[in-house]
Each structure stands twice: as C-alpha cells, then as structure tokens.
Amino acid sequence: MKVKLPAATGEQNQDATRRQLLEAAGEVFAEVGFRNATVREICQRAGANVAAINYHFGDKETLYVEVLRYAHGKALEKYPLLLDVAEDAPPEKKLQAFVHSLLLRIFDKGPTSWHGRLMSREMIEPTAALDALIEERIRPMSSVLWKTIGEILHCPPTDERVLLCAFSVTSQCVFYNHCRPAVSKLFPNLLPHDAASIKNLAAHITRFSLAAMKDFSANKK
C-alpha cells in the first residue's frame, strides 16, 4: 500500500526556498567574494526566481549578512567550540579542543566546506558585515579562548599576555589555510588532509603554545 505524504504548506515551501538561497549564496560568496557575486548566479544555483532574494532578504547586502550567520551557526553546530570536552576539564585540554574545532572548521570537506572558505575570505576581504559578525559571533567565541588561556596563565582574560597568546594560537591555525598554496608546494605532507592529520596538527599547535605560555608564566610582569 502506497502512503501518500501530505503536500508541503506554503510556509514550508518558503522556508525551503530561503534555505536554498542561503546555501547557494554561501557557495557563490565563498568562490568569488561578496563584491563579484551576482543575484542572478545565486538564484540560478538555488533554482529560484531572480526576485526571490528581494522577497526573502531585501537585497544582496542583507543576504550576505544572513549567509555569514548561517554559515557560522552551521559550522559550530557540526564542530562545537570545545567539541566533547566538559566545561570543568583542565584548561590545557580545553585549549586543544578549541584548536581542534577551529582546524576542523577550516579544513572541512564536502557540501559544507564553503563555510570555512567564506569565513576565511571575509577575514582577507572584509565587508561592512564584519562588524556585526565580530560582535555577534567572533567576540563570544574569542571569550572562550581568552578565558581558557587566562586559566592557564593564572591571570584575567583581559590581560595583555592572554590576548597576545590567543592571537598566536589562532594565527598558527589559520596559517595552514591562508598559506596553503605555498605550503603545499614546499612541504605537501605537512598539510592536514584527513581527520587524523587534523587531530595531530591540533596536538602540535597546543603543545607548542603551552610551552610558550609556560615561559610567559615564569616571566610575569
């Protein structure tokens, strides 16, 4: 006996179209950037009418802001900041989880790989949307890292040494992405290419960073 499924409601269809636009726009923005992306190309990929963006988002600028929020939310949903590490875990373990999560988001593959590429492009080619992204998403994430490093250094998360260490930790992570073309030619085996190599790189960055932080703690102001 064949079961007939109920037809989608108008609201469900609208939600599906909106999601398709976000996904299609994310891919286009990640490939060519906000400025070079066209509404026509986005709608073609989404299989939507060219008026759909205006209906759902108002304009390309608003769509871009929503895509950044969508991408960031989806990436964190897949790879939480501290992965499966408990809040009361030792700060050293939380630091490695934070680094591992960041690397997983950067080097994610498959249909969701545009999430990391879009965020990287926004850092290199910032738009007017960056201010909102920092306040809504990046600052709260950074606060987790600042707090973790503050626990390691036994000082407030706003201490200058904490901020400098946080920048150094994240810089090591993004280096492998931003300098990927050069690194792949110089040392192709060093680039993370699967879950195991990403985990190993996270462990290395953490060990390296903790060694530096130990020196910071020994030479307090």
How far is Cα 140 from Cα 13, in angstroms, rounded to an integer?
33
Q: Do 42 and 139 have their domain in common?
A: no
In a domain, 4, yes or no: no
Q: Do 52 and 89 have their domain in common?
A: no
CA-wise closest residue to 134 among 209, 65, 38: 65
Q: Do 123 and 32 have their domain in common?
A: no
pLDDT greater than 90 at residue 112: no
pLDDT greater than 70 at residue 10: no
Q: Do 121 and 186 have their domain in common?
A: yes
For 2, half-sphere exposure in the C-beta direction (CA atoms, 13 angstrom radius) is 1
**Number of domains the chain contains:** 2
Looking at 37-159, list the stretches that DSSP marks H as alpha helix, in order from N- to C-terminal side.
Answer: 39-46, 52-56, 60-78, 91-106, 114-124, 130-133, 139-153
CB 206 within 8 A of CB 92: yes
In a domain, 214, yes or no: yes
pLDDT greater than 70 at residue 13: yes
Q: Quote the domain boundaries for residue 19.
A: 10-67
pLDDT tens, position by position, 15-29:
889 999 999 999 999
Q: Do 114 and 176 have their domain in common?
A: yes
Q: Which residue has the higher pLDDT, 11 or 179?
A: 179
Instruction: For residue 218, give the H/E element and its range.
Output: helix 195-218
| CATH number of the structural domain spanning residue 115 | 1.10.357.10
